[in-house]
Amino acid sequence: MISKPILTLDDAKKIAAAAEAEALRNAWRVVIAVVDDGGHLLYLQRNHDTQFGSVEIAIKKARAAVAFQKPTKVADDAVLNGRLVHLVLPGALPAEGGIPLMHNDQIIGGLGVSGVRSPEDGQIAQAGAAALG
C-alpha cells in the first residue's frame, strides 16, 4: 500500500494566514480558498468587504491548480500567447492566483486567491504557499 501526505485543516489555516498577511500588507481585499488534493473545499476566508463574486473564482482557481497540477498562471500565459484552447478546457481558469500545494513533490491541495488584479492574486497565493515550507 502507498502512503501519501495530506493537507490538514491546520495546514490550510496556516497557508491562509500567510496569504492574508500579504494581502493586508498591501491593503488588498481578497478571498482565499484552500482545497484538498481532490479539489474539495477545506478552508475559505473572505474579507468582510470583498466582492462576493470572488468567492467562486478563488475556489475555481484552487481547483484548477490541483486538476492541472500547475499554477493557473500557466494557462493565463498560454492564452496570452495565442493558445486559446485553454479558454475551453474543462476546469481550467486562465487567471493568475491559483497554486498547487506541494509536499515532497506530491500535490496535497490547491490555493486560490481572488479579489484584486491577477498578478496581485498570484503574489498573495505565492506567499500563502510558501508557508508550507
Q: What is the pLDDT of residues 64-104, one digit of tens each?
A: 999 999 999 999 999 989 998 888 889 999 999 999 999 99
In terms of pTM, does the model score above 0.85? yes
Calpha distance 74→48 (Å, rounded)? 30
Q: What is the pLDDT of residues 97-107, one digit of tens each?
A: 999 999 999 99
Which residues 6+ apart lie within 8 Å of 73 measured at CB?
96, 97, 98, 118, 122
